[in-house]
Structure 1
Amino acid sequence: MHSFSNLFFIISLLILQTRICIIVAIEDKLEHIDPTLPPALPGQTPKCSILILQQDFANTIGAPPAMANYTEPTDCPYPWTRVVLELSVSASDVQKSRIAAIWLSGVEILRTTTPLPMSPGTFWRVQKDITRYTNLLRQLPGGAAAGTAAAGDGVKFYMMLENSNERLPGVYMANVSLHFYRGELVDGRRGYTARPTVKGLYRQPADIILPVSQSCAGNGFWFRIQNETHIPFSSLTIPRNTYRAVLEIFASHHEHDEFWYANPLRPSYSSGEFSNSNGGFRQLYATIDGKFVGGHVPFPVIYPGGINPYFWSPVAAIGSFDIPTYDLDVTPFLAMMIDGQPHEIGVGVRDALPHWLVTANLHLWVDVWSDSVVAGMGEYFAPEVRVNKNGEWRNVEGQSEVSADGLVRFTGWVASSKGNVTTRVRQKITFKSQVAVQNGGGVKQVEMTNKARGDVGLTMGHQILGRVQMFVEAPLQVQSTMETDPSGGVLERTRLFHQLEEVVNLNENQVVSSSTLIDRQDAEGSALMHDGMPVWGSGTTKSSYKYRDDANVCYLRTVSAEGGEVKFDISSPSCSAME
C-alpha cells in the first residue's frame, strides 16, 4: 500500500511540474458524442447552410462575447420548415471544461458546456433545433429582425466562452453554423422539436421574442444570481395585441452550487467557512411585477469535470451539451401586461448558493387582425412549495433528507380575433433528496428523485381547443468512496445512475398523440484528482436513449464506453427495435 501511495505522489508531482494531464487509453483527436435524437434525421438535406461565426477562445475570461453580423440567406429565404444551429468545437490541447452560450440579438438560443479535453485534438459538435426562434432570423427592411419589438442596428450573433491559458494551454476553436430546411419533413415530426416537451400546443413559433437578461453584452447577457433573495429582472413592454405568452428559462449552476443535487443539509463547522450545506433542493421560478407565475425543479446536469471526469470521455452526460430550458405558460397573466406600460419580468432560484447564470426569453404571439386584445385573470392558486428538512450529524458524519411538494393553478382569458380563449395552467412537483456521509467523510451516498407534472389546456366556452400533459421523472443515485494520497490528491471510486424520463400527451382539436423519451446513463470507475484536475483514472459508461412518438418517429441509440474509447455504438430509427 505504501508503494502504491508513492506512485500516486510521483504522478501528482509530474502533473504539477509539467501541467499536462496524464491519461490512459485516450487517443489524439478524440470525438466526444451526445447520443440524443438529432434535430434532422438521415435523409433530410438542408436547403442551404451558412457559417455565422469563427472564433478561437484562448484568454477570454472577462472579455466580451465574440460577435458576428447575420443576414438572411438570399438563396433560401423564409419560410423554413426547420432551422438547426450547429456548434463545432475543437480543443488544441489539455484544458478545463467551460460553460458557453450563444445569443441572437440578446436572446439566448443555446447553453452548453465543453468536454474536459485530456489530450490535444479533442473535438465535438452540438446540434440544436432553433425553429422556435425563426422570427429572429427573418430580415425586415432596415436590417431588423422580424421577432424583435423595434428596429435596431441589425441582427447579431454572440458567443461567450470564458477560457484561460494561465495554467493549461488548450484553446477552443469554434464554428457556429445555421442549416435551413424547406419543404415537407422526411421524418414526420410536426412543429419545432427543440425538446419533446417544448412543442406543446404551439406549432407556430412566436411572433416576437424579448430577452430577460442583462442589456449589455460586456460580460455576457446572463444574470449572475448569488442567493435566493436575488431576483434580477428586465423591464419589458409588450404589444397590446398579444394573445399568448410563454417564458423560457435558461439556467446553469456553478461554484458553490455546481453540485447542488448532492449538497448535504448540515450546519457549518468551521468559522467563516462556506459549507455548501443547505440541502439538495432548488427551484427555478419567474415573477411578473413581483408576482410568482410558476417554476420548475431543474434537471441536475452533471458537468464534464463532475463526479468522475472519465465517465464523460467520450460520451457526454445527460443535458451537458444542450442544457435543458424550462417553459412557463404565462398567458393567464396577460391581463397584467397588455396596458402598454413596462413590467418587470424577474427570475430567481430558491435556496440558491453562489452562483447561478440565468436568462429568460419571453415568447409572444400577437393578433395581426387587432390593435389590442382584452384579457382577464381568473384563478390564482400559488401557495409556497412545502419543504421539509431533516438532518442528523456528528461532525462530518451523518445523514439528511429534504423533501418538497407543490401545486399551482392559474387561469386567464384573452378575447381576440381568435375568440374568447381561456388558458388553464396546472403544475405539480414532488421532490426528495437523501444524502448520507460515513467513515469520516470518506463514503458518500446521494439519492434524488424529482417528479413533475404540467398541464396546459385551452378552451372556448365548453369547447376544448387543446391540452398538453407533461410528465417528467429524473432520478439520480451516486455512491462514492474517497481516499487522500500523500501528495494531497484524492482517489475517488464512484458508481452512478442517472435518468431523464419525459412523457407528453397532446390533444389538438380532438386529435390525441403522445411521445416518450427515456435517457439513461449507468457508470462506474475511479479517478485520482489533484487541484480539481484528473491525474489518473478509469471509467465505464453505458448510455441508452429511447424516443418514440405517434408520428411514427422512433430513435434508439445505445453507447458503451470504457477507458476513453467507444466499445460499441448502436442506433436504430426502427420502432420495432424498441418493442
Structure 2
Amino acid sequence: MESHRRHLLFLFLLSLAFPSTSTIPRSSENDYSFDTSPPPSPPPRPPVQPNTSLEYMDPTLPPLLPAQNPQCSLQILQRDFAAIAASSSPPAFFTYTPPANCPSPWSRVILELSATASDIQKDRIAAIWIAGAEILRTSTPFSLSPGVFWRVRKDITRYTALLRRPTRFSIMLENNPNATLTGIYSVNVSLHFYRGAVNRLNSHPIIRGLYREPADLIIPISNMTGPGCWFRVTNETDVRTRTVLIPNNTYRAVLEVYVSNHGDDQYWYANPLRSNDVGVAGASGLASRKPNGGFRQVVATIDGQYVGSAVPFPVISPGSVNPFFWAPVAAIGAYDHPSYDLELTPFVGKLIDGKPHEFGLTVKESQPYWLVDANLHLWLDAWSDAVEGALVRYKVPPLHLGRQADWKNADGKSEMEGQVIIRFSGWVSSSAGNVTTSVRHKFKFKSHVEVEEKGEMKSVDMETKARTNLRIEKDHVVIGRVVVETEAPLNLVTVTSNGGGGTRIRKTKFFHEMMEARSATEGKTEDWFNTITDRQESEGSVLVGEDGEVVWGSGDTKSIYKFRDDKKCYLRTVNMVGGKLEEDEESSSCAAAALSGAMES
C-alpha cells in the first residue's frame, strides 16, 4: 500500500509540471503617424482561375513536427456547411469509436481540422465538442476570394479521458450564405493517435496550463439542450449554470473555460467609458452600443460562490479592425481560441460531500453577447472509494476598478485601471497522504481610450498582466510549485476621413502580443519551464461603404512567434505585404531566437 501511495503522490506532482519559455520584450517603437494622401483607386479584381487556391495560416508552433508519424489516424467528419445559424440551428453530430488498431493509452492525440471556402464569405464562429465538452473553438477566415483553404492542428491529449470509449462529437459552424456571400464551407475533421515515447525535441508541450498529466474524468459545464453546447451570456447578471455530481474519490479539480465575444461586444477592448453614446465611436468603425469601458472578466462560481476568473485575451476575429490584416495570416488565437484554467483543488472538500453542486459562468461588464462554456477536469484516487478535504483559506477582496472620463461632445478620453490578489487554500487527504494546495492569483488591468478630431481619430492602449502561483505542501513541507505568468498588450490607432460618395476611408495601425511563461519545481529543483511569445504588427487602409461594409482595402502584417524551453527553441517569422507572403522563415536555433528577442527590445 505504501508503494501505491508514493506512486499516487508522484502522479499528483507530475500532473503539476509543464514546460515554460522566455518572453520577447515589446518594441519601443510608438510611431503612429499616417500618410494622409488620398488612397489609390482600387485595382480591378483579377479573374480567378479554376485551380487557384490560397492557404490562410496561423504561424504558431505545430503540436508535432513532421519527423514523427502517428500510429493511426481516424477521419470523423466530412461535411459541407451551407446555411447554419448559431442562434437557431442545431450542431452537426457524428459518432466516434476508438481506433481498434491503436487502442489507448496514447502519448499524444492531435485534432486536425481542414476546410475550404468555395467563394467569398464572412468570418464565422465554430466549435467542436466531445459529449458536450469543448475541445476547440475557432473562427473561419474572412475569405476575400474563392478557393481559400486553411488547417487547424491542436494537441487534445488533455481530453483523452473522453476518447477511450464510443461517444458523440458535435460541431457548430455558423454560416448564412446570400446573394453576395455565396461561400460554402467544406470541412474535414481527423484525429491522429500516437503511442510510445514522443520526442520532446519535436513536439509542443502536452498541456499549456496548470498540469501535464491528463485528467481521469472530464465533466462538461455546458448547454446540453441548446443550439451549440455553449451558453449565450448577455450581461453580468446573466449567470449560466449546470448542476453536476462529483465522484467522492476526487483529489484534484481544474476548470477549463472557453469564451468568445460577439455582437455589441465585438470591439470590447476598444470600448470607451462615458455616460452616453453620442459621438462615442465617431467614424472609427469600432462602435459599441453602450460605452461602459474596455474591461471584461469571465467569472466562475460554485453554488453562487466565486471560485476563479480570467480577463479574456482579446482575440481579433478575421473580419475585425481590417480584414486585409488577416489575409492570409490569422490574428493571434483566431483559429485556436485560448482557454483558461482555474485551479479548484482547494474547493474539492466542498465538492465531494455526495451532493450535486451548481457551477456558474458569466462575464463581468459584458454586453450582448458572449459564448461561454467550461470543462471540469477531475483526477481520481484509484486506491480509495472516498477522500476527505476542506477549504481552509478564502480571501476574495472586491475588484475596484478606477474609472476616469473626460469628454466634450465627440472628443475626449477615458481610463480604467484595477488590480486584485485572490488567495485560496485547501487540503485533501487521499491515499497519497494529506496534501494542501494553495492558490494565489493576481492580475492588473489598464485601458486607455482617446477620441480626437471630432471623432475621426481613435487610439486604444490596453494591457493585462496575470500571475498564478500554485503551492503544494505535505506535512508542512513544500513539495511542488507551479507559476504561470501572462501578459497581453494591445495598441490600436484608427484615423477616418471622407472617401466621397458616402464612403469613409479608415487607416489603422495595430500592435498585439500574447506572452506566456510557465515554470514548475519539485522540492527545490526546477522541473520544467517554457515561454511563448506571439506578436503581430499591422498597418493598412479600408474603404467602408454607407452600410458599414468594407468595399476594398489593403494591409501589411508581420508576425513573430517564439517558443523556448529547457531543451529546444522554435522561431517563426511571417511577413505579409498587401496580401502576399514576402517572408516565411522557421528556425529551431536558440541563437536565432535570442537574436530575435534582442532586436525587438
Q: Same fold (TM over 0.5)?
A: yes
Q: Which amino acid aligns with 1:165?
A: P
Cα root mean square deviation, aligned: 2.2
Q: Could you tell me whether the CA contact under 8 Å between 1:191 and 1:203 is conserved in 2? A: no
Q: Could you tell me whether the CA contact under 8 Å between 1:43 and 1:186 is conserved in 2? A: no
Q: Which amino acid aligns with 1:136?
A: L
Residue of 337, 359, 362 corresponding to 2:376: 362
| Corresponding residue for residue 450 of structure 1 | 464
Q: Does 1:244 align with 2:252?
A: yes
Alpha-carbon deviation of 1:535? Answer: 1.6
CA distance in 2, matches of 1:64, 1:194: 31
Could you give the per-residue CA deviations for residues 381-431 of structure 1, whole angstroms, max 9, x where no partner exists? 001212011101112211000101111000000000011010000100111
| Corresponding residue for residue 17 of structure 1 | none
CA distance in 2, matches of 1:445, 1:343: 44
CA distance in 2, matches of 1:402, 1:519: 25
> RCO (CA 8 Å, sep 6+): is it higher in 1 or 2?
2
| Corresponding residue for residue 136 of structure 2 | 110
Q: Could you tell me whether the CA contact under 8 Å between 2:64 and 2:203 is conserved in 1? A: no
Q: Helix, strand or coil for the counterpart of 2:308?
A: strand
Could you give the per-residue CA deviations for residues 418-477 of structure 1, whole angstroms, max 9, x where no partner exists? 110100001001110000001111100000011111111111123322211111111100
Residue of 317, 321, 330 corresponding to 1:316: 330
Residue of 180, 197, 204 corresponding to 1:184: 197
Q: How does 1:164-563 map to 2 (within 5 A)?
A: 164-167=176-179, 168-188=181-201, 193-195=206-208, 198=209, 200=210, 202-216=211-225, 218-269=226-277, 275-512=289-526, 513-530=528-545, 531-550=547-566, 552-563=567-578
Q: Does 1:577 align with 2:592?
A: yes
CA distance in 1, matches of 2:525, 2:452: 54
Q: Does 1:129 align with 2:155?
A: yes
Q: CA 1:561–1:7 in structure 2 vs 1: closer, same or farther (change >3 Å)?
A: closer
CA distance in 2, matches of 1:422, 1:22: 64
Structure 1 stretches of 4+ with a deviation exceeding 6 A read 3-8, 23-27
Q: CA 1:280–1:161 in structure 2 vs 1: closer, same or farther (change >3 Å)?
A: same
Identity score, percent: 50
Q: Could you tell me whether the CA contact under 8 Å between 1:39 and 1:194 is conserved in 2? A: no
Q: Could you tell me whether the CA contact under 8 Å between 2:278 and 2:409 is conserved in 1? A: no
CA distance in 1, matches of 2:55, 2:371: 28
Q: Could you tell me whether the CA contact under 8 Å between 1:47 and 1:181 is conserved in 2? A: yes
Q: Which amino acid aligns with 2:217?
A: I
CA distance in 1, matches of 2:48, 2:493: 25
CA distance in 2, matches of 1:24, 1:251: 39
| Corresponding residue for residue 57 of structure 2 | 33
Alpha-carbon deviation of 1:294? Answer: 1.1
The alignment's TM-score, normalised by the length of structure 1, stands at 0.91
Q: Which amino acid aligns with 2:216?
A: D
| Corresponding residue for residue 89 of structure 1 | 115
Q: Which amino acid aligns with 2:433?
A: G
CA distance in 1, matches of 2:417, 2:514: 19
Query: Which moved further from structure 2: 441-450 or 332-341?
Result: 332-341
Q: Helix, strand or coil for the counterpart of 1:97?
A: coil
CA distance in 1, matches of 2:361, 2:201: 36
Could you give the per-residue CA deviations for residues 304-338 of structure 1, whole angstroms, max 9, x where no partner exists? 11111111011100111100000000010112111
Q: Could you tell me whether the CA contact under 8 Å between 1:82 and 1:192 is conserved in 2? A: no
Q: Which amino acid aligns with 1:41?
A: L
Query: Which moved further from structure 2: 455-464 or 240-249?
Result: 455-464
| Corresponding residue for residue 10 of structure 2 | none
Q: CA 1:532–1:420 in structure 2 vs 1: closer, same or farther (change >3 Å)?
A: farther
CA distance in 2, matches of 1:40, 1:7: 45
| Corresponding residue for residue 160 of structure 1 | 172
CA distance in 1, matches of 2:473, 2:574: 44
CA distance in 2, matches of 1:484, 1:24: 30
Residue of 80, 89, 100 corresponding to 1:74: 100
Q: Which amino acid aligns with 1:179?
A: H
CA distance in 1, matches of 2:322, 2:428: 51
Q: Could you tell me whether the CA contact under 8 Å between 2:80 and 2:187 is conserved in 1? A: yes
Q: Which amino acid aligns with 2:562?
A: K
Alpha-carbon deviation of 1:243? Answer: 0.4
CA distance in 1, matches of 2:491, 2:573: 20
For structure 2, list consecutive stretches of 5 or more residues without a partner in the other structure: 1-36, 280-286, 595-601
CA distance in 2, matches of 1:279, 1:464: 42
Q: Could you tell me whether the CA contact under 8 Å between 1:268 and 1:277 is conserved in 2? A: yes
Q: CA 1:209–1:324 in structure 2 vs 1: closer, same or farther (change >3 Å)?
A: same
Alpha-carbon deviation of 1:509? Answer: 4.5
CA distance in 2, matches of 1:441, 1:190: 48
Q: Helix, strand or coil for the counterpart of 1:134?
A: helix
Q: Which amino acid aligns with 2:529?
A: S
Q: Could you tell me whether the CA contact under 8 Å between 1:49 and 1:177 is conserved in 2? A: yes
CA distance in 2, matches of 1:395, 1:515: 48
CA distance in 1, matches of 2:573, 2:278: 46
Q: Could you tell me whether the CA contact under 8 Å between 1:278 and 1:351 is conserved in 2? A: yes
Q: Could you tell me whether the CA contact under 8 Å between 2:239 and 2:360 is conserved in 1? A: yes
Q: Could you tell me whether the CA contact under 8 Å between 1:332 and 1:377 is conserved in 2? A: yes
Q: Could you tell me whether the CA contact under 8 Å between 1:519 and 1:545 is conserved in 2? A: yes
Could you give the per-residue CA deviations for residues 12-35 of structure 1, whole angstroms, max 9, x where no partner exists? xxxxxxxxx958999941101111
CA distance in 1, matches of 2:296, 2:176: 30
The alignment's TM-score, normalised by the length of structure 2, stands at 0.87
Q: Helix, strand or coil for the counterpart of 1:80?
A: coil
Q: Helix, strand or coil for the counterpart of 2:236?
A: coil
For structure 1, list consecutive stretches of 5 or more residues without a partner in the other structure: 12-20, 144-154
CA distance in 2, matches of 1:561, 1:88: 22
Q: Helix, strand or coil for the counterpart of 2:386?
A: coil
Q: Which amino acid aligns with 2:83?
A: N
Alpha-carbon deviation of 1:576? Answer: 2.4
CA distance in 1, matches of 2:120, 2:497: 25
How many residue pairs align between the two structures?
Answer: 545
Q: Helix, strand or coil for the counterpart of 1:301?
A: coil
Could you give the per-residue CA deviations for residues 96-122 of structure 1, whole angstroms, max 9, x where no partner exists? 000000001100000000110010000
Q: Which amino acid aligns with 1:175?
A: N
Q: Could you tell me whether the CA contact under 8 Å between 1:23 and 1:118 is conserved in 2? A: no
Could you give the per-residue CA deviations for residues 117-139 of structure 1, whole angstroms, max 9, x where no partner exists? 01000000001000000010002
Q: Could you tell me whether the CA contact under 8 Å between 2:152 and 2:336 is conserved in 1? A: yes
Alpha-carbon deviation of 1:516? Answer: 1.3
Q: Helix, strand or coil for the counterpart of 1:578?
A: helix
Q: Which amino acid aligns with 2:392?
A: G
Q: CA 1:578–1:191 in structure 2 vs 1: closer, same or farther (change >3 Å)?
A: closer
Q: Helix, strand or coil for the counterpart of 1:485?
A: strand
